Amino acid sequence: MDERAAQEVRTLLVHLGTAMVATGQPINEVEDELAEVALALGHPDAQIAAGPTGVTLALASGAPATYEGVTGSLRLDQSAQVRGIRRDLLRGGVDGPTALGLLLALRSQPPRYPVWLANLGWVSTAVGIALILQPGWRNVALAGVASVVVVGLFRLAQRFRLLSTLLPVVAAFVVACLVFAAADLGLVEGPLRTLLPPLAVLLPGALIVTAMSELAAGDMIAGSSRLTFGLVQVLLFTLGVVSASRLFDLPAEALRNVRVAELGWWAAPVGLVLICLGIGLLESPPVRLLPWILLVLVLAFGAQALGQHYSGPVLGSFLGAVAASTGSYLVEAFVPDLPRLVVFLPSFWLLVPGSLGVLSATQLALDPGGATATVVGVVTVVSALALGLLVGTAIAQSARGALRRARRRRPHGQLQLDHREPVDTSDTSH
């Protein structure tokens, strides 16, 4: 292969790699799946070094390398397209120049819905999380009002760079002031849990758990850098909440981790539906994916609730992560054209590791006497989430391998029928 053709392949692969990183995939998965594409393109010895901020790639050891930086994250609809492009490259359904053009056009694609509908999706998500996290009539209503404030701050931050940098502190401070004022007037109980749902979309929950799974998989640089960034974001949110708490004369009991359970059994199912609808409006995934997103949310919530009922938050977090990871893999195995990552990522808003971090860090700042128990509790739950992801992935990959072997063992007549199908789904990509 001449240098020009090699350069074109490297350019395609690094752009695909950076797009995969921007979807939020763990780095170890990005490198493995990008190597599969390189192999399909005729380069089995490709050398890949991916990180949270960029991808370096050479087609062979000692060969020229190409670097491409990651510029921000992608919405779920864009993530679905990245998975589709990768799948088509594996199957030979698209040529290199076409695939590169599609990747380069991703960033300029507008959201599926207008801004006002996306804002409504943010409010719907916050109300849905409140119905699960703090199911009280006044708490849910206040969370909805506070989410409108957060949306306004987020839109302003898109225009002003300074506010964008300080958004975690400012949003947490304003929401906390609103919630603490209501608690000071005796309108709501459990203010700490009430202020988390409006901030849930901004919290780095997926980032922290992805970092832990990368560290467990041996990606030390990527995992430690993501973890450091995520913890800094949690501390910024905590700074805003603690600053607001100093303005109000609330008793220490009012700032404890108290769950208000005024609503009945129906609160959780309605909350899950609202979260799914909110994600659909906010992240613009294809409408056909919403039932699958809801399915994975239900699996994660059911497993988490079961574990919490029998043991506590550690087992609940572990089982919830196992269910979310396994469910998303199996959905992709049975419906190969569905992108696993798109139906999986929303479950992090439900497992709320970012909310847990802010809640625990706030309690630590307000009550240093319980420092040891608080820190150990956060680390244990986040570690349980990361371990659950690894276990769920291992289970799902084993099940998917068994499914592939079963497909290969079909009777000869069935195989002949499969060959007449317009699309070959015997090779299901990740």
Give the model confidence (pLDDT) of 399-408 as tens digits. Answer: 666 666 665 6
- Cα–Cα nearest to 263, from 406, 133, 358: 133
Mean pLDDT of 334-356: 68
For the chain, the 3-state helix, strand and coil shares in percent, each to the nearest 5, are 70, 5, 25
The pair of structure tokens assigned to 413 is 């007549």
Give the pLDDT confidence score for residue 63 in this predicted structure.
87
Secondary structure string (H, E, C) spanning 118-161: HHHHHHHHHHHHHHHHCCCHHHHHHHHHHHHHHHHHHHHHCCCH
Mean pLDDT of 134-153: 91
The pair of structure tokens assigned to 411 is 């009777």
pLDDT-based confidence at 366, cuts 50/70/90?
Answer: low
* Helices then strands, each counted (H, E), the chain: 18, 3
Mean pLDDT of the chain: 81
Rounded distance between C-alpha atoms, residue 24 and residue 70, angstroms? 11
- Cα–Cα nearest to 209, from 325, 348, 378: 348
For residues 76 and 284, the answer to whether their CB atoms sit within 8 Å is yes
Rounded distance between C-alpha atoms, residue 275 and residue 345, angstroms? 12
Mean pLDDT of 339-348: 75
CA dist list (Å): 258 to 135, 192, 269, 356? 11, 8, 21, 13
Contacts of 2 (CB under 8 A, 6+ apart): none
Instruction: Give me the torsion for CA of 305, 308, 309, 315, rounded to 10°.
Output: 110
Indicate the domain borders of the chain: 3-108, 115-405
Rounded distance between C-alpha atoms, residue 20 and residue 57, angstroms? 14
Give the pLDDT confidence score for residue 371 in this predicted structure.
52
Which of 48-52, 106-110, 146-150, 362-366 is least confident? 362-366
Give the model confidence (pLDDT) of 282-326 as tens digits. Answer: 888 888 888 888 888 888 888 888 887 787 777 887 888 888 888
pTM of the full structure? 0.79
The pair of structure tokens assigned to 346 is 């929303």
Give percent of the chain above pLDDT 90: 19
Show the beta-strand stretches assigned E in 54-204.
54-58, 65-69
Give the pLDDT confidence score for residue 150 in this predicted structure.
93
Question: Angle formed by the axes of helices 267-283 and 76-91, to 10°?
Answer: 70
Mean pLDDT of 199-209: 79
Give the model confidence (pLDDT) of 255-267 as tens digits. Answer: 777 778 788 888 8
